[in-house]
Structure formats: C-alpha cells, structure tokens
Chain A
Amino acid sequence: MNFLYEPWPWYVAGPLIGITLFLLLWVSNKNLGISSSFRHVCAACVPANISFLKYDWKAEKWNLIFVLGVFLGGVIAWNVIGHPELIAISDATIRDIQKLGISHESGLLPSSLISFESFITWQGFLFMAIGGFFVGFGTRYAGGCTSGHAITGLSHLQWASLLAVVGFFAGGLVMTHLIFPLIF
C-alpha cells in the first residue's frame, strides 16, 4: 500500500483519467468537463437577464455534484492518503523560477503568488484576480477547459478541440516565456 503515499507516476494517473471519463460516458451518458460548472453557478446565482445564462441549469446539476466530488477527492488525497513535503519538479524548473524570485517551497504552490497575504500585493493580485478572471472568461469563450477539450474532446477525435488545445498552449507559452519576464 506504500505506493498510495507516493506521488502517482504519469502512466498510472493518465490511464485512470481516461477510464474515469469513459465510465462517466458509459454509465451516465455524460461528457467530462469542469469549466461549465462556473456557468451553472452564474446562471443559478446572477442570471441578470443575460441570454447565455438563461437556461435550465438544474438539468446540469450532475456537473456540480461531480465538482463537489473533485473537491472531496482533494480532501482525501492530500489529507487522508498523505503527501510529500516538496513537489519533485525538475532542477531546471527550480532554477528557472528562482531566477524570477519564486522559491520552491513546501506545498502545492508558491505562497508569494497565491496566498491571502499576497493578494494585497500587486503581484499576488495579478496572479489570483487576473489569472482567475482569464481562466473563467477564457474557458467559457473557448467552450471548455483541459478536461472538456483536451481530454474529452481529443478522446472523441474532435478536431475543433485540437484547435482549442493549441490555443491553451499558445497562451500558456506566451505567458510563461514572454510575459513572466516582464512581470518579475
């Protein structure tokens, strides 16, 4: 059972994700996709007579229950199963982010960018508020996120999803290689 405590390698995690999306489709006739949950919450809470938010969100309640499960999965995996002190990223990445002034600390992410304390600094605000805004705005504009387009869309051989994934990586590469050096 020791392997449960170690980080799972890609060849275990990837196929399990593929099996999860297959089970969701085979058992429930539902396609995996997480970012639509943001739309359902907006439709439920602040529809404001916007036509894109006027639909029967209750018919999509399964998606919100799935998201609740993802949250509980995080609780179980991190707190019950256990986790390593440091995320074992490559030395090259550690060096690169240190050049930007970001330290490789314990936990899942650097607290200098994402924490309650850093939210009131301009860098923290940028990464949390603008970054979060881009995630919500961009996924809805693109009609899906990594789960909906990259994993589900490409599994279904949807060529349109491939273009969305090209967009995901284009944006991520521009941010990491061109904009990060300007921010730090």
Chain B
Amino acid sequence: MIRWFIYLFLGILFGIILTKSEVISWYRIQEMFRFQSFHMYGIIGSAIFTGMVLIGLLKLNGGKAIDGTKIDFPKKVYNHGYIIGGSIFGMGWAMTGACPGPLFALVGAGVYPVLIIILFALIGTWVYSYFRPNLPH
C-alpha cells in the first residue's frame, strides 16, 4: 500500500516540476525547436546530468535499492523504430507542444481540450500495436 503512495507522491512532484518550469507550454516547445532560448535545453541537460551522477553513485555503491534488492538496469537494444518512430513522435511533439508527461499535467492545469490529444495518442498507440508485425524494426 505504501508503495502506491510513493508512486503517487513522485508523480505529483514530477507534475509540479513540469508545470512550474513551463515545460508543459506549447510556446516553450516552439522556443526550443527554434533555438531561441536555453530554458528547455537547460532543463533536459541538467536533468540528465543530475540523473547520471546519482545513478553513477548508486552503481558505485553496489546498485542496491533502499530495501537492499538489486536494481535492474535494463539495456536498451537499438532497432530502427528508435529513429523512425522517434521522428514521428518529434513531429507530434512540435505540433501538440507536449510529450506524454506534460499532456497529463496539462489536463491537471485545466486545459481540457488536451483530453482529445490524449485520446488520439491512445488511438496511435493502438494502431502501432496492430501494425507492429508489419513495421520495420
């Protein structure tokens, strides 16, 4: 039960950060793709740097979770979907001005039309699942 509260709490924290730093704004994403501000690059870059340092320290320390269990570090294996699917997502990112996390935070911020975008994202996910065997990977 306490685990569910941890996930909920960390989700709330993530949602607050995304909203307060304006990552969820369409305008900020346009600014990023036009290279007209350091804001988004600073956020993504310093998030990766902080994560890298903390995860590096964790690995040095034996790679154990707080309860002593071994943490899995799954290795991602490249397939062509990374580039093809990635580019398709990038186009959608520029259009909707939001990646999946911000979509949910936007609904929280009261931008209810985003529910339509989420519905179409679900349709997109389903259509991908259906055609997956026929797509190059």
A binds B: yes
Interface residues on A, range: 35 or more
Interface string of B23-48 (1 = CB under 8 A from A): 11111111111101111111111111
Name the contact of A73 in the complex, choosing from B18, B25, B44 (C-beta under 8 A).
B18
A171 and B91 contacting across the interface, CB-CB below 8 Å:
yes
Contacts of B117 in A (CB 8 A): 114, 128, 131-132, 135
A71 to B114 Cα, complex, angstroms = 12
Nearest chain B residue, comparing its CB with the CB of A39: B125
Residues 77-124 of B at the A interface (beta carbon under 8 Å)? 77-79, 81-101, 103-114, 116-124
Contacts of A171 in B (CB 8 A): 86-94
B33 and A18 contacting across the interface, CB-CB below 8 Å:
no
Interface string of A104-128 (1 = CB under 8 A from B): 1001111001111001000000111
A144 to B95 Cα, complex, angstroms = 18
B15 and A18 contacting across the interface, CB-CB below 8 Å:
no
A66 and B7 contacting across the interface, CB-CB below 8 Å:
yes
Contacts of A77 in B (CB 8 A): 15-16, 18-20, 105, 108-109
Residues 41-90 of B at the A interface (beta carbon under 8 Å)? 41-55, 58, 65-66, 69, 71-79, 81-90
Nearest CB in chain B: distance from A79 CB, A: 7
Contacts beyond the supplied A71-B11, A132-B124, A139-B89: 10 A-B pairs with Cβ under 8 Å: A32-B14, A71-B105, A77-B16, A129-B116, A134-B88, A138-B88, A141-B88, A143-B79, A149-B76, A161-B82
Point out residues on A near B: beta carbons under 8 Å. 4, 7-32, 34-35, 37-39, 41-42, 46, 48, 50-53, 62, 65-79, 81, 83, 87, 89-90, 92-93, 96-97, 104, 107-110, 113-116, 119, 126-147, 149-161, 163-177, 179-180
